[in-house]
Amino acid sequence: MESSAMRVGTSGSPAAPWHRVLLRRLGYLWWFKAVGTTLFMTAFFAAYLHLLHFPLYPVTVMPLTAVDRAIGFQPWALAAYASLWIYVALPPAIAPTLGRLFGYGWHIGGLCLAGIAVFVFWPTAVPPADVDWGLYPGYALLKGIDAGGNACPSLHVATALYSAIWLAADFREVGAARWMRGLNGLWCAVIVFSTLATKQHVMLDVLAGTALALLAAALSPGLRRRLPAKVAVPV
C-alpha cells in the first residue's frame, strides 16, 4: 500500500516525501510564477473595479434567503475573506511544469472572464447590511474598495472552489498526507463561509459561484485527467 509520506517512483525506487516534492515545486521558476500571478491579479482587479464603479446597466440588488438571515455578521471572517489571495496563488506556486502553470492560468482566467462578462451585462449588488462599518476599520477599508457590488456570481467563491479542486488533484498526485488534503478543503470552506459572514455576498451569489467553478473544472481536461473517476467533475 502506498504511504502518505513516501511514494514509489516509476523505477521502483522510493520517491521523495511529499513535502519535499512540494518544496521543489515551489522553487521551480518561483520568480516567474510570482510575477505572473501578480500581473494576473492586477489585470483582474482593474477590470473588476472599473465595472464596480462604472456599471453599464442598472444594478440589480440580490434578494436575501433564509440562509442569509440565519448567518449574522461576524467580524473575524474578514481574515478568512482576505486569505483568498494567498489561497488562489497556491496552485500556480506548486505547478511542476510550464504546461501545468499555463493550464491553470488559462482556465482560471476563463472563469474570471466569464464572471466579468456577467457583470458587464448584469451588474448586481448585495442589499445594505445593518452594520456600522466605521466600528470595524478593516471592514471600512474593504467596503471603501469593494462595496458589495459585482455580486453574482461570487468570484470569491468560484476561484476558491476551483483552486480547491486543483489543489486536491496536486495533493493526490504527490501523495500528500490526509491532514494536508483536509486542510485544503477546510480552508476553501471557510473562505466560502466568509463571503456570507462578511456580508459581501448572499447565498444566491455563492450558488452561482459554485456552479461557475464546477463548470470550469469540467472544461479543464488536464485537471480531470488527474482526478480519480469517483470525484471527477462530470461534463
Find all residues with CB under 8 Å of 76, minimum gap 6, and list them: 197
Per-residue model confidence (pLDDT) at position 142: 81
Q: Does residue 183 sit in helix, strand or coil?
A: helix
- The string of pLDDT tens digits covering residues 49-99 is 999 889 999 999 999 999 999 999 999 999 999 999 999 999 999 999 999
Find all residues with CB under 8 Å of 160, minimum gap 6, and list them: 84, 87, 88, 188, 191, 192, 213
Judge whether 108 and 159 are in contact, CB under 8 Å.
yes
Q: pLDDT grade, residue 4 (50/70/90)? A: very low
Q: Helix 203-218 crosses helix 178-197 at what angle (to 10 degrees)?
A: 140
- The string of pLDDT tens digits covering residues 125-163 is 999 888 888 788 888 778 777 777 889 999 999 999 999
What is the pTM (predicted TM-score) of this model? 0.86
Distances (CA, A) of 217 to 4, 32, 84, 185, 205: 25, 24, 18, 16, 18
Question: Taking the CA atoms of the chain, what radius of gyration do you get in angstroms?
Answer: 19
Per-residue model confidence (pLDDT) at position 80: 95
The answer, yes or no, to whether residue 13 has pLDDT greater than 50, is no
Strand partners, 14: 8
Name the one residue in this structure whose C-alpha cell is 473595479. 49
